[in-house]
Amino acid sequence: MPGRYPAAQGLELSTHFAAAPERLVMEQTIALATVRRDFLEAGVALAYPAWVRRHFGARARALGMEARPGEDEDTRLLRPRLVKFAAVHGEDPQLIAGARALTERWLQDPVSVDPDMVETVLAIAATFGDAGLHTTLTERLKANPDRAMRNRLVTALSAFRAPALVKANLELVLAAPVDPRELTTLLAGGLRWPEGRELVFQTVREHFDLLTSRLPERNTAYLFYVGRYFCDAKHRAAVEAAFGPRAEKAMGGKRDLAQILEAIDLCIAERAVQAPSITSYLSRAAR
């Protein structure tokens, strides 16, 4: 349960298992080493990616992004998890460059990239991607009716982190060239990072009726979840004010909104406990 022990202990413990050969151990190790961005105070915002690279980067780079003959199933299953962690949370330049190169290859020939790694490669490239890549993926989406390919493209678009490109995704949603499943994926993608969360919330609040008209009635309350990842009292109040009246009318809305507000409360409490621990640990680790 979050908050039962100092986050610093989890970070330190993860360093002792970063070379563990067992996949299941590594998956738990990555979970211990993962820190929510909202918990990173300004002074250690850059120290965390450096810490991730120091402890997990070399192994992720050694695994690489392409399968090798004769490797076992656990290696194939670990590769996307570890590579994505080291690239996205560690901002590893070699892995990011590799993902960009493989994305370009995939755009030319989709079968040329290991199918187990396509989603990971596209997610890394998009997380650190520019407007050019966003435009390319958007154009492919508009021109492609194939469901499987559209899923790949929408999932990749949802990974963009730059606020301007999150905004471009929201404009795509409002323009209605996507179906309800794609709409929810694009909205959810912008919530991963603090930079895009506010944009998504404001867009849903301002265009709530338009968006609900494109969703099945039973899914109206899904839109309340754009407030789920806030972690401060100001936004908690804004979420309650924006969706409280609407929850009365939505199917399951009151229950869903109550769970969302509770999640924000828990995050606020956890951050109050854990952020000082994380700051202290990363400040020492950076010396």
Which residue in 136, 122, 215, 210 sits closest to 168, CA to CA?
Answer: 136
- Read off the pLDDT of residues 15-72 as tens digits, 9 standing for 90 and up: 999 999 999 999 999 999 999 999 998 889 999 999 999 999 999 999 999 989 999 9
Which amino acid is located at 171 in the chain? E
Contacts 24+ apart (CB under 8 A), 7-14: 7/35, 7/39, 7/274, 7/277, 7/278, 7/281, 8/277, 8/278, 8/280, 8/281, 11/35, 11/51, 11/278, 11/281, 11/282, 12/281, 14/55
pLDDT at res. 3: 55
- For 280, half-sphere exposure in the C-beta direction (CA atoms, 13 angstrom radius) is 10
Taking the C-alpha atoms of 123, 129, 135 and 136 in order, what is their torsion angle to the nearest 10 degrees?
-60
pTM beyond 0.85, yes or no: yes
Q: Distance between CA atoms of 85 and 82, rounded to whole angstroms?
A: 5
Whole-number percent of the chain with pLDDT over 90: 82
In the block, residue with structure tokens 């989406």: 141
Q: Note the helical H segments in the chain.
A: 7-16, 23-33, 47-52, 58-63, 73-84, 93-108, 118-127, 131-143, 147-158, 163-175, 180-189, 194-206, 208-212, 233-247, 253-285
Measured from the Cβ of residue 133, the count of other Cβ atoms closer than 10 Å reads 21
* Residue owning tokens 């396509």: 118
Domain extent listing, the chain: 1-38+47-65+74-128, 147-211, 216-287
For the stretch 128-183, pLDDT in tens is 999 999 999 999 999 999 999 999 999 999 999 999 999 999 999 998 777 888 88
pLDDT tens column, 229-249:
999 999 999 999 999 999 998
| Phi, psi for residue 44 in degrees, rounded to 5 | -120, 10
